[in-house]
Structure 1
Amino acid sequence: MAVDYLNALGASGSGLNIRQLTTSLVEADTAPRRAAAEKRIEAADVSISALGKVRAQFETLSGAIGVVTQSSVLKATSSSSALAVTVTDKALVSDSATSIEVLQMAQRQVIEFSGFTAADAPLAAGRITVDFGVWYAPEGEEVATNFAANPDLPASSIDVGDGATLQDLATALSSIPGVTARVLDKGDGTFSLGVISEPGAGSALRFGVTETVSGSGLARFDTTASNADVEIQAATDAVLTVDGITVSRGSNEIDDLLPGASLTISGTTSDAATVRFSRDTETAEAAMTYLVEELNATLSLLGQLTLRATDGSDSGDLAGDRMVEGMRRELAALISRPLNGHGEKPVYLSQLGVSTNRDGSLRFDADAFQTAFAEQPALFDAIFANSFTSPQAGVSVTGVLSGSAPSGEFAFRRDAVTGEATVDGAATLALPAEDGRSRYLVLSGRLSGLLVTVEPEVTDATVRFGRSLASSLQGLLEGALATNGAISERETQIKAGVEAQNAILESLDTREGKLEQRYLAQFTAMEQAVSRMKSTGTYLENLIAAWHADD
């Protein structure tokens, strides 16, 4: 009940409830600002809680993308454990079955120089030249005494100085690319120098020796006439039949027989093995269904949290938050944006049976997806896997690009005279390659990390990089979820605002204390003055009453 201060003036003193009056005045001064600060803190708590929901949903979506990208729809199988197959370029692989029989594995040449007394046995001085090539027998003979040098593998030379040991020679030989040498204790009191080449008939070794002092003994390593006496195992090519056609390769890692796939040989096969490529339509449909469900869940949450109500209903907890609204718009744009660089024409999510409803959610048509997947499975690959391709023959593209690398087509240019090359105008680093091909690595610019391998005759080509929808989505999510990402920065901003409001509340607490002391001091002084006035009034009233009594 309100206090009637005017009626209380006639009581002893002022008659006022000083404590209550002081409290009321202090509250009148600070209550509006305190209420505003507390309201802002409450709103900040709601926003932080809502951002936590966004973070959790983004993590769920990121996990879903990881699951579907790791679930291989393209199946590559081999009926033999001696022949493994790996997909290297999904765009080049089609549903097929190939019959492959491994008749012979590629082998390294193994040479043994035996009869040494110790690993540190001294050698005579001189020079040893190492040639790479093929040993073969003259027509009508069985012993391989002829040697044809491999033009792709240049010869190397090492100098053996006075006092050099067998172990020193092994170390020097091992420094030559394509050669491995070691000293072995035979266990019978003697030591051998073992020398091994790379696999393939064209990687066999021939040693030519020039002695500093003729007849000093270094010539025991010379194999220019024949290596029959020291060869333990001959270098051989892998020999296979592919659908009945015999082919050979100088390595057990073969990437040029089946388009978009590599073969790894670990043994010979007793009969023809079947290498099969197929696409699992059920897995593909399940992957698309899962992705659409999680995208809808994410779009729905962002829509609810950023809703700006205009009909009197409650707005979303993050309505007006520019960061979250921006992520919602960016996510919607990624879903509808064309995917370039995966072929001559851009790829759209709608081509795989995914359409957008009026409310912004996605609808998945499984029948339309199955039709599109059967006709153009590469469309599905564009959703879940980055692609590196070229429409020109004799050009292969791969690499590891940054998240900011753009999709699209880019020009490869090579100077036929100098061999220098550019990609998208950026300089490249030439790397050694096999089979006469050249490799170029982009070291700077927006395509840094792109690797282009070309045949000798290629000087101009188009290379393509296509970023998948999954990759683009992961880039958006990682940018939001990172330790210093968009969500963390927004949380930091909100928490800074809370700290500022808490500082205001602390200052109001201080102000209330000071105001209370001031008002109490002022009212106390007032009470004292009123009491004195009332005392004087009482004295005068009594004096006047005494005067009237005398009359």
Structure 2
Amino acid sequence: MATDWLNALGASGSGLNIRELAKSLVTADTAVKRTTAEKKIEATEVSISALGKVRAQFQSLSEAIGTVTQSSVLKATSSSSALSISVTDRTLVSEQVTEIEVLQVAQRQVLEFGGFPAADAALGAGRITIDFGVWYAPEGSQEATSFAQNPALASSSIDVGDGATLQDLATALSDIPGVVARVLDKGDGTFSLGVVSEPGAGSALRFTVAEGTAGNGLARFDTTATNLDAQVQAATDALLTVDGITVARGSNEITDLVPGATLTVSGKTSGPAVVSVSRDSALAEAAMAYLVEELNATLKIMRDVTVRSVDGTAAGDLVGDSTVEALKRQFSSLLSGPLTGHGEKPVYLSQLGVSTNRDGSLSFDEEAFQKAFAARPEIFDAMFTNSFSSPTEGVTVTGALTSKAASGDYAFRRDPGTGAVTVAGAATFGLPGTDGTSKYIVLSGDMAGLIVTARDDVADATIRFGRSFASQLQSLLDGATEAEGSIAKREDQIGKLAAEQAEVIEALDLRATKLESRYLAQFTAMEQAVSRMKSTGTYLENLVKSWNKDG
């Protein structure tokens, strides 16, 4: 059994518990510093947690922005059930009323090749070439027996091998884009191959057959001269009148008659249908109320984490934090500042019924909003839609700009000598048109992605861009929450502070170990000296007693 020499010495020495004494001295030397470091680490953990709450609320607000910007407040309606309309791009659609009559629905060509005894009936070998195009009646004829190939659709070929069946051919045809084929049981003891094209007159099919062996029967699928014999339904375009002007389209889903909207044709109309696009005040109010609610939740989080202690109340976990305070100022500036580029005059949130309370929260006055919306519904667009415009006649503007593009007016300049065009001082790439206009695309700089269409005689023009409130708010949120954003940078700073304090604690632990060893060594030497002194004293005491006894 090991001997505890320190306790043994203590018994014959000073009598002190030198282990506890050494620990007490070490604690007195390091405890205050250690406690300070631990409190700093605890504070960093609290700060990181609070920043996480801010980040989470920013992400929630970002999702809310996405919801309201994708939900159009433009209501599209049609007076006919045979013609429907839906908004697909709120940046392109505008309020309008159009009269549209459907004279003819776009149809698919349907071919039937019948008289087969079974779905697995064997076919002769050879090659079938499938062309896409339009069947039309040649001059002097009433029947569509001539074919014009559609240059936009490539031809395809099928090699029919020995032993191939009717079902094999149906499968091979269905593998061709724009063709659907299937074998149908007629119910009379025979089977037919049905072949269907895409809708539109220009999507009709022509089959040209080259038999592997003359007379093997594969030629029954050739329609070069017998299209009408196999045709059950002809391919046709949709025919419509738009405000009295007749137009044709190869699909019943029409995207280019009402900008930013899709028309769906399901049948003929009994006359002109009234198709309208208008802003819905109820939808607009709901969008504003939802955004204000999410903004208030975000503002509250930032207020709560930065509140100062007053009359003994607890301070926020991020009181005095420079990053969150800067974000609060950015929010305040955006909420109270002007939205420019959406017309001659700036737009303010206060015009839409939004006001700031004394505590920094927002209020939304529905009645004030409805009055403003009824008087000037277009100002609502400044909330959720970037705007492109030009007050110069003969100039239109579109584009998809980056977050670097700022709202404002920009100069369009055409060099009278070279004809080169600059926009906002940046060079453009020109695309000449055939109608006396050209498109100019900005490829570099903050306005990269801007597209200006101008008459060729326009030398100078004003280009106006307005970034929406939602877009500016999203940029603010992105700058805070992205990987290299302000919140991430602040978290890194706090993390480094925590790491520094952890190093302080580690150094204190090392110092404590060394101090305790040194104190124990010193106290051990002291105990040994005391023990020796006690031993000498005992010897002298016994010697004196012996002398007295002898005397």
What's the TM-score once normalised by structure 2's chain length?
Answer: 0.68
SS in 2 for 1:358: coil
**Which residue of 1 is the match for residue 327 of structure 2?**
327
User: After the TM superposition, which of the residue ranges 45-54 and 503-512 deviates more from structure 2?
Assistant: 503-512
Offset, 1:138: 10
Paired with 1:17 and 1:106, the residues of 2 have a C-alpha distance of 103
SS in 2 for 1:464: strand
**Which residue of 1 is the match for residue 451 of structure 2?**
452
- 1:381 paired with 2:384, answer no
**Which residue of 2 is the match for residue 474 of structure 1?**
474
Paired with 1:419 and 1:87, the residues of 2 have a C-alpha distance of 39
Paired with 1:236 and 1:415, the residues of 2 have a C-alpha distance of 49
SS in 2 for 1:340: coil
**Which residue of 2 is the match for residue 30 of structure 1?**
30
Offset, 1:260: 6.3
Q: CA RMSD in A?
A: 5.9
Change (3 A) 1:201 1:24: closer
Deviation per CA, 1:487-544: give whole Å up to 9, x if none.
3333333233323322322232222222111111110100111222233334445555
**Which residue of 1 is the match for residue 167 of structure 2?**
none
Change (3 A) 1:394 1:325: closer
SS in 2 for 1:341: coil
The residue identity in structure 2 corresponding to 1:71 is S
Offset, 1:300: 1.4
Paired with 1:254 and 1:376, the residues of 2 have a C-alpha distance of 31
Deviation per CA, 1:275-317: give whole Å up to 9, x if none.
1223322222222112111111111110121123365533210
User: After the TM superposition, which of the residue ranges 32-41 and 508-517 deviates more from structure 2?
Assistant: 508-517
Paired with 1:522 and 1:429, the residues of 2 have a C-alpha distance of 92
**Which residue of 2 is the match for residue 493 of structure 1?**
493
- 1:465 paired with 2:456, answer no
The residue identity in structure 1 corresponding to 2:58 is F
Change (3 A) 1:350 1:136: farther
SS in 1 for 2:319: coil
Offset, 1:271: 3.0
**Which residue of 1 is the match for residue 213 of structure 2?**
none
**Which residue of 1 is the match for residue 187 of structure 2?**
none
CA contact (8 A) 2:65 2:474 kept: yes
Paired with 2:18 and 2:51, the residues of 1 have a C-alpha distance of 48
User: After the TM superposition, which of the residue ranges 455-464 and 84-93 deviates more from structure 2?
Assistant: 84-93
**Which residue of 1 is the match for residue 399 of structure 2?**
398
The residue identity in structure 1 corresponding to 2:69 is T
Offset, 1:348: 1.2
> How many residues are aligned here?
518
Paired with 2:16 and 2:395, the residues of 1 have a C-alpha distance of 101
Offset, 1:22: 0.8
Offset, 1:468: 1.5
Paired with 2:497 and 2:91, the residues of 1 have a C-alpha distance of 52
SS in 2 for 1:271: coil
The residue identity in structure 2 corresponding to 1:452 is I
Paired with 1:513 and 1:493, the residues of 2 have a C-alpha distance of 31
- Structure 1: stretches of 5+ with no match in the other structure: 1-9, 110-134, 145-152, 154-195, 203-232
Paired with 2:465 and 2:312, the residues of 1 have a C-alpha distance of 50
Change (3 A) 1:495 1:455: closer
Deviation per CA, 1:470-498: give whole Å up to 9, x if none.
12222222333334433333333323332
**Which residue of 1 is the match for residue 191 of structure 2?**
none
Paired with 1:544 and 1:427, the residues of 2 have a C-alpha distance of 120
Change (3 A) 1:422 1:245: same
**Which residue of 2 is the match for residue 166 of structure 1?**
none
Paired with 1:31 and 1:258, the residues of 2 have a C-alpha distance of 77
**Which residue of 1 is the match for residue 530 of structure 2?**
530
CA contact (8 A) 2:410 2:464 kept: yes
User: After the TM superposition, which of the residue ranges 43-52 and 502-511 deviates more from structure 2?
Assistant: 502-511
Identity %: 62
Paired with 1:457 and 1:235, the residues of 2 have a C-alpha distance of 41
**Which residue of 2 is the match for residue 442 of structure 1?**
442
CA contact (8 A) 1:91 1:378 kept: no
Instruction: Trace 1:206-245 onto structure 2 (pairs within 5 A).
Output: 240-244=240-244
Paired with 2:14 and 2:536, the residues of 1 have a C-alpha distance of 14
**Which residue of 1 is the match for residue 285 of structure 2?**
285
Offset, 1:255: 7.1
SS in 2 for 1:319: coil
Change (3 A) 1:530 1:429: farther
CA contact (8 A) 2:340 2:466 kept: yes
Offset, 1:453: 5.4
Offset, 1:19: 1.9
**Which residue of 1 is the match for residue 75 of structure 2?**
75
Paired with 2:410 and 2:234, the residues of 1 have a C-alpha distance of 45
User: After the TM superposition, which of the residue ranges 68-77 and 436-445 deviates more from structure 2?
Assistant: 436-445
Change (3 A) 1:415 1:240: farther
**Which residue of 2 is the match for residue 514 of structure 1?**
514
CA contact (8 A) 1:90 1:381 kept: no
SS in 2 for 1:530: helix
Paired with 2:488 and 2:430, the residues of 1 have a C-alpha distance of 38
CA contact (8 A) 1:201 1:250 kept: yes
Offset, 1:273: 2.3
CA contact (8 A) 2:431 2:438 kept: no
CA contact (8 A) 2:292 2:364 kept: yes
Instruction: Trace 1:333-352 onto structure 2 (pairs within 5 A).
Output: 333-352=333-352
CA contact (8 A) 1:412 1:422 kept: yes
Instruction: Trace 1:63-462 onto structure 2 (pairs within 5 A).
Output: 63-80=63-80, 83-87=83-87, 97-104=97-104, 240-244=240-244, 263=263, 268-309=268-309, 311-391=311-391, 392-393=393-394, 395-399=396-400, 401-414=401-414, 420-423=420-423, 425-427=427-429, 438-448=438-448, 450-452=449-451, 454=453, 456-457=455-456, 459-460=458-459, 461-462=461-462
SS in 2 for 1:240: strand
Paired with 1:12 and 1:199, the residues of 2 have a C-alpha distance of 111
Change (3 A) 1:237 1:395: farther
Deviation per CA, 1:199-240: give whole Å up to 9, x if none.
9999xxxxxxxxxxxxxxxxxxxxxxxxxxxxxx99999753
Paired with 2:452 and 2:82, the residues of 1 have a C-alpha distance of 29
